[in-house]
Amino acid sequence: MTTERNDTPKLADERETLRAYLDFHRSTLAMKCDGLSDDDLRRASSPPSTLSLLGLVRHMAEVERTWFRKVVNAEDIPLVWSDEGDYQVAYDASTATRAEAFEAWQTEVKHSRRIEEAAESLDVTAHAARWGEDVSLRLVMIHVLLEYARHNGHADFLREAIDGTVGP
């Protein structure tokens, strides 16, 4: 499987720019996982950390689910891997498979896109219980984008440690 990344616009409105960069970073995470076995994807970074590429994919599924479905769309749903709301559970990918992690992540990305596209504007607000205050869709999109950017940096190092692949 070879993941393609979209071009990001050089001149676009704010919403289109945010959409494009979110998709760019979503694709980047998928690219970092291309061509690896489940065992490779479960490989932890360096002790004592248990961080792995599959753990990152699972974590980003939880991020998408939380910010778009639970916050923006006010859905009363549990996390994907923890009924108790423990985000750390997603990082434990010791028995995870590419199929289950990517299916959950891609499902959440589809929900996120649908929710964002249905919103009238970036000024739509919702209550983020975690922060105890209202947030705009704009802030949610920026926050999720920054989560991807940060974790894609981790993914760069994880992939390099697995097979020496570096780059985009």
Residue 155 is assigned to a structural domain of this protein: yes
**What pLDDT is stored for residue 167 in this prediction?**
75
Q: Mean pLDDT across the chain, nearest whole number? A: 92
Residue range 103-156, pLDDT digits in tens? 999 999 999 999 999 999 999 999 998 889 999 999 999 999 999 999 999 999
Is residue 71 domain-resident? yes
Contacts for 164 with CB less than 8 Å, ≥ 6 apart: none
Three-state DSSP state, 133 = strand
d(CA 143, CA 82): 22
CATH number for the domain harbouring residue 142? 1.20.120.450
Domain count, the chain: 1
Confidence of residue 86 (pLDDT cuts 50, 70, 90): confident
Q: What are phi and psi of 28, to 5 degrees?
A: -60, -45
Specify the pLDDT at position 36.
96
Q: Which residue has the higher pLDDT, 55 or 10?
A: 55
Between CA 93 and CA 97, with CA 94 as vertex, the angle to 5 degrees is 65
Burial 74-85 (b: 16+ CB within 10 A, else e): eeeeebbbeeee
Q: Are 46 and 57 in contact (CB under 8 A)?
A: no
168 located within any domain: no
Q: Considering the entire predicted model, what is its pTM?
A: 0.93
Instruction: Judge whether 109 lies within some domain.
Output: yes
